[in-house]
Amino acid sequence: MGSERFIPATHGELASDERQRTIAARQDAVQVFLRGQDASALAQRLWAWAQTDHSLMAELKAWAAQSQTGDDPRAMKTAITDLLRSPGFLDWRESGAYAHRAEKVLDLLEPVLATNPVQARELCEHALRRLYKASEEADDSNGAIGELLHRVMDSLLRCLRAAPPSADWLDDWFGLMEADPWGLWNESAVLEVAGAAVQQGFQRKAARDWQNWLASHPSGQAEGEHRFDYGRHALRQRYLNVLKSQGDSQAALEMMGSSLSGASEHSELVAYCESLGKLREALQYARAAARLHPTNRRSEQDLLRCYERDGWDEEALAIRRGLLERSPTVEHFQAALKAAKAAGREPVAYRDELFAWAEAREQDAVVGGRFGVLSRGPAAAKGRHVGTRAAWLLAEGRLDDAVQLVQPPHVCEPQLLRTMAMQLPQTRYPEAVLLLQRVFAVSMPGASTPYRDVLEIVGETARRMAEPARSQWLAWLRAEYKAKRNFIKGLDAFKGWG
């Protein structure tokens, strides 16, 4: 005998199995009944049902068209129209049901694609237009219709690969792109499989369309200084992609430089110059962009990258200092120190300068608010928010200085206090407890059930407390917050602690 134990089924499991067997038996009985009926009687009954069910009628027509193996394009097109017809606005649930029914169009297209890819391409185009019409009045939050559109587009790409069309097909393709309400087309993917005739026609059209736009806009820019013209952007990007694909980098540079509009196009030009190794030109364009768009962060980053790469150390330091003063994060602090060293500044003196600047900013900080009033009496008025300097000190590994700096009445972000407490060794647990209790005092007023975060802080604090202080503090918590039942219930995890 093996070691396996027999585990008897529960009453609920037995009842569920019995229901499943009953359902299966009834379904088998219906199938047996249907197989015994006359085919003409079944066909008549099915047709009668389809008269009152649009989805069923569409599926029947699609089935009939598919049985003809694509020999009748008109019948196939009609079947696709019926299958993809939308009853009107579709909410997100109805969109999913519509897409589930509509995906049967793929079964219609597949056999035609295998035997007549040109006809299949035309049917794919028709299917896309029908889906576009449906999607214009649909809430496709779950993405079901969009996914089906992509699948039909994939079928179209297979048709193009199997039978590359003539250049005349460009008109059909551009008509499809204009009708697409969601802009899903990947032009490069189509060009890759459409063949030389379409590619060459596309290149000529891209150049012609951009030149026509320029002729009607002599400045090369959209009307309105701050207006984004999507039509201009699409035409410009299309022609630019053509020039790049042809390997004509000089023509691409000239085209980009003569039609610059907005910070993003300047940034794109800077990056393209860098990719070609034209670093001097990249710096020139980055400077121009910074002058035209002084508040744009991307332009600032482009200029900073060029300065640091090309050895403009003083200029790079000025930008790094500006970034620090706008956002005195640890990352910006460390980058400014590195830039200062590259610019030949004495590291210790410059560091002290930054700390003096940060301290000067603290003079107007308010004790309280989201950091809590952590000191009582007259001394509270002297407190400052020292979070910036504390974070920098921690980043330098100067834990002792950071702990000393944040002592009351000063305040800082609770997470910084918590980080300091976690880094203090066991010999300094009493200091860690005081820091964590400050964190708890700030966190608890805004906490809500199930109180996971504050209970975690309680655990971190209790683990660093000795008896009898731990028992006394836990007892105080139970008394102070007795109205917060879920918090008190969470404290039960610490019953063995006091």
Range name among 61-70, 165-174, 453-462 with the lowest pLDDT average: 61-70
pLDDT number for residue 67 = 63
- In this predicted structure, the answer to whether residue 379 has a pLDDT above a threshold of 70 is no
pLDDT tens per residue across span 391-439: 999 999 999 999 999 999 999 999 999 999 999 999 999 999 999 999 9
* Domain count within the chain: 3
pLDDT number for residue 287 = 97
Vertex 407 angle, CA 406 and 413, to 5°: 35
| Most distant pair of Cα atoms in the chain: their distance | 99
DSSP letter at 385 equals: B
Cβ-contact 453, 467 below 8 angstroms: no
Based on the fold, state whether residues 159 and 126 are members of the same structural domain.
yes
- In this predicted structure, the answer to whether residue 221 has a pLDDT above a threshold of 80 is no
pLDDT number for residue 12 = 56
Between these two residues, 354 and 38, which has the higher pLDDT value? Answer: 354
* pLDDT bucket at 39, cuts 50 / 70 / 90: confident
Based on the fold, state whether residues 459 and 405 are members of the same structural domain.
no
DSSP for 434-471? HHHHHHHHHHGGG--TT-HHHHHHHHHHHTT--TTHHH
Whole-angstrom distance, CA of residue 453 vs CA of residue 68 = 66
Place of tokens 């860098």: 274
Domain edge (last residue) among 163, 190, 212: 163
- In this predicted structure, the answer to whether residue 446 has a pLDDT above a threshold of 60 is yes
Whole-angstrom distance, CA of residue 150 vs CA of residue 67 = 26
Based on the fold, state whether residues 371 and 465 are members of the same structural domain.
no
Taking residues 346-358, report their average pLDDT.
97
The answer as to whether 120 is a domain residue is yes
pLDDT number for residue 383 = 83
CA distances from 69 to 76, 102, 108, 129, 130 (A): 9, 19, 9, 22, 21
* pLDDT bucket at 42, cuts 50 / 70 / 90: confident
pLDDT tens per residue across span 131-142: 999 999 999 999
Containing domain of residue 413, as a range?
365-426
The answer as to whether 190 is a domain residue is no
Based on the fold, state whether residues 56 and 155 are members of the same structural domain.
yes
- In this predicted structure, the answer to whether residue 144 has a pLDDT above a threshold of 70 is yes
Based on the fold, state whether residues 477 and 405 are members of the same structural domain.
no
Taking residues 438-462, report their average pLDDT.
95
Based on the fold, state whether residues 66 and 158 are members of the same structural domain.
yes
pLDDT number for residue 26 = 82
Taking residues 212-224, report their average pLDDT.
75
Whole-angstrom distance, CA of residue 154 vs CA of residue 216 = 37
Q: Which of 81, 182, 93, 168 is nearest to 125 (CA)?
A: 81
The answer as to whether 486 is a domain residue is yes
Say how many CA atoms lie within 13 Å of 494 toward its Cβ.
24
* pLDDT bucket at 43, cuts 50 / 70 / 90: confident
- In this predicted structure, the answer to whether residue 495 has a pLDDT above a threshold of 50 is yes
Based on the fold, state whether residues 418 and 454 are members of the same structural domain.
no
Whole-angstrom distance, CA of residue 441 vs CA of residue 20 = 57
Between these two residues, 378 and 81, which has the higher pLDDT value? Answer: 81
pLDDT tens per residue across span 313-343: 999 999 999 999 999 999 999 999 999 999 9
DSSP letter at 141 equals: T
The answer as to whether 243 is a domain residue is no
Whole-angstrom distance, CA of residue 268 vs CA of residue 282 = 10
pLDDT number for residue 187 = 94
- In this predicted structure, the answer to whether residue 69 has a pLDDT above a threshold of 70 is no
- In this predicted structure, the answer to whether residue 198 has a pLDDT above a threshold of 80 is yes
The answer as to whether 85 is a domain residue is yes
* pLDDT bucket at 269, cuts 50 / 70 / 90: very high
pLDDT number for residue 2 = 47
The answer as to whether 422 is a domain residue is yes
The answer as to whether 273 is a domain residue is no
Based on the fold, state whether residues 400 and 455 are members of the same structural domain.
no
pLDDT number for residue 496 = 65
pLDDT tens per residue across span 463-486: 999 999 999 999 999 999 999 999
* pLDDT bucket at 220, cuts 50 / 70 / 90: low
- In this predicted structure, the answer to whether residue 345 has a pLDDT above a threshold of 50 is yes
* pLDDT bucket at 6, cuts 50 / 70 / 90: very low
Taking residues 256-270, report their average pLDDT.
94
Based on the fold, state whether residues 465 and 419 are members of the same structural domain.
no
Cβ-contact 83, 105 below 8 angstroms: yes
Based on the fold, state whether residues 113 and 146 are members of the same structural domain.
yes
DSSP alpha helices (H): ranges in 262-329?
262-275, 279-292, 297-310, 313-326
* pTM for the full predicted model: 0.75
Domain edge (last residue) among 163, 195, 221: 163
Domain edge (last residue) among 131, 163, 195: 163
pLDDT number for residue 3 = 47
Q: Which of 92, 76, 193, 89 is nearest to 127 (CA)?
A: 76
Q: Which of 114, 112, 140, 138 is nearest to 124 (CA)?
A: 112
- In this predicted structure, the answer to whether residue 368 has a pLDDT above a threshold of 50 is no
Based on the fold, state whether residues 58 and 159 are members of the same structural domain.
yes
* pLDDT bucket at 373, cuts 50 / 70 / 90: very low
Percent of the chain whose predicted confidence (pLDDT) is above 90: 70
The answer as to whether 461 is a domain residue is yes
Based on the fold, state whether residues 464 and 412 are members of the same structural domain.
no
In sequence order, the β-bridge partners of residue 138 are: 90
Averaged pLDDT score across all residues of the chain = 88
